[in-house]
């Protein structure tokens, strides 16, 4: 458990007779930026709520920061910062006053350094200039950053962020991305649930993909991208000929608008040999490439569903 920030075994949550989370075995390495991916309704938020002690599991076990949950909840939560299902603040108070109010409710937070911690948290998320502004006048992106500031009021070993870049403009997104990297560099484990694959690919070191309440893949990001192996892409007007040539070398082709592509399983002919065979077979090549699967393609392959890749 010393190398794992979050570990679950057979974690299950049923509502009536339906399993929303079904036998989840999750392993989040300490010090990682871990992306938690899945379509809407796949069980991500329910899993997070169980990890934070907000709801009880129906079955299975879970450890957070090496401690069994929910038995050691009071010992674990002071070491965990969280932003789940969007931030909630009193709109009639300023951003600074909201954070002071939140920090005052934390019985583990020392009051003597409260004002300094609030100023530091606001500065880290780029809201010092709006500290005295009423939250009702904040944009959605500003509220999101204020929520992250609330999770950073005290030093945390684990930070759980649900859609941390929701509503942010490109500059705000870059700032949050940089903040997450800096936190990970300081040794904080960051657990990020997001529907933006482009963000996950830029900031995460590891990820897990959920589908219908189950983990269908997890591990280092590079391993997830290449899970289905490389593919050869042939851009040509001679699709039928290319199909025959590649099929003759044991490849299963798939049609593209501009040609064909095919997975390259272990033992396939070298890419340069395939290119030579296509030319010898009379295929006019407009483009030829071997590429690894993207995270988006891997996600679609595992879940059968599309996914937002841009903000």
Summary mean pLDDT of the chain:
87
Poorest-pLDDT segment among 29-33, 63-67, 82-86, 102-106:
82-86
Q: What per-residue confidence (pLDDT) applies to 308?
A: 44
Poorest-pLDDT segment among 63-72, 93-102, 142-151, 231-240:
142-151
Contact 148, 83 (CB under 8 A): yes
Q: Which domains does the chain have, with CATH numbers?
A: 4-225 (3.40.50.300), 231-291 (no CATH)
Cα separation, 205 vs 110, whole angstroms: 33
Q: What percent of the chain has pLDDT over 70?
A: 91
* Per-residue H/E/C for 133-182: CEHHHCCHHHHHHHHHHHHCCCCCCEEEEECCCCCCCHHHHHHHHHHHHH
Q: What per-residue confidence (pLDDT) applies to 297?
A: 66
Hey, what are 195's tokens? 């529907």
- Higher-pLDDT residue of 190, 264: 190
pLDDT band at 91 (very low <50, low <70, confident <90, very high): very high
Only one residue has tokens 């030829």, namely: 288
Mean per-residue pLDDT, 245-264: 91
Hey, what are 41's tokens? 């309704």
Quick one: DSSP state of residue 286? S
Q: Is the pLDDT of residue 210 over 80?
A: yes
Q: What per-residue confidence (pLDDT) applies to 241?
A: 95
Q: What per-residue confidence (pLDDT) applies to 228?
A: 59
pTM, two decimals, is: 0.75
């Amino acid at each position: 458990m010393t190398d794992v920030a979050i570990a679950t075994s057979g974690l299950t949550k049923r509502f009536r007779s339906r399993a929303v989370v079904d036998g989840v075995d999750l392993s989040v390495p300490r010090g990682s930026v871990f992306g938690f991916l899945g379509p809407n309704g796949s069980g991500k938020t329910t899993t997070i709520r169980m990890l934070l002690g907000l709801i009880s599991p129906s079955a299975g076990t879970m450890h957070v920061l090496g401690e069994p949950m929910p038995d050691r909840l009071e010992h674990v939560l002071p070491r965990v910062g969280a932003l789940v299902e969007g931030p909630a603040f009193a709109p009639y108070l300023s951003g600074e006053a909201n954070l002071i109010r939140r920090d005052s409710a934390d019985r583990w937070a020392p009051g003597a350094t409260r004002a300094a911690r609030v100023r530091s948290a606001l500065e880290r998320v780029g809201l010092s200039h709006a500290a005295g502004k009423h939250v009702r006048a904040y944009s959605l992106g500003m509220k999101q950053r204020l929520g992250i500031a609330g999770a950073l009021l005290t030093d945390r070993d684990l930070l759980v962020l649900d859609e941390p870049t929701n509503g942010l403009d490109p500059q705000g997104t870059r700032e949050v991305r940089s903040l997450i990297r800096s936190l990970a560099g300081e040794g904080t484990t960051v657990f990020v649930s997001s529907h933006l694959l482009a963000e996950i690919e830029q900031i995460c070191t590891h990820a897990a993909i959920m589908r219908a309440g189950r983990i269908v893949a997890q591990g280092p990001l590079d391993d997830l991208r290449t899970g289905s192996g490389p593919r050869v892409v042939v851009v040509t007007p001679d699709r039928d000929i290319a199909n025959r040539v590649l099929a003759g070398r044991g490849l299963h082709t798939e049609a593209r608008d501009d040609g064909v592509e095919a997975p390259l399983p272990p033992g396939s002919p070298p890419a340069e040999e395939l290119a030579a065979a296509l030319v010898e077979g009379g295929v006019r090549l407009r483009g030829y490439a071997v590429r690894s699967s993207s995270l988006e393609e891997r996600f679609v392959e595992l879940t059968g569903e599309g996914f937002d890749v841009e903000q």
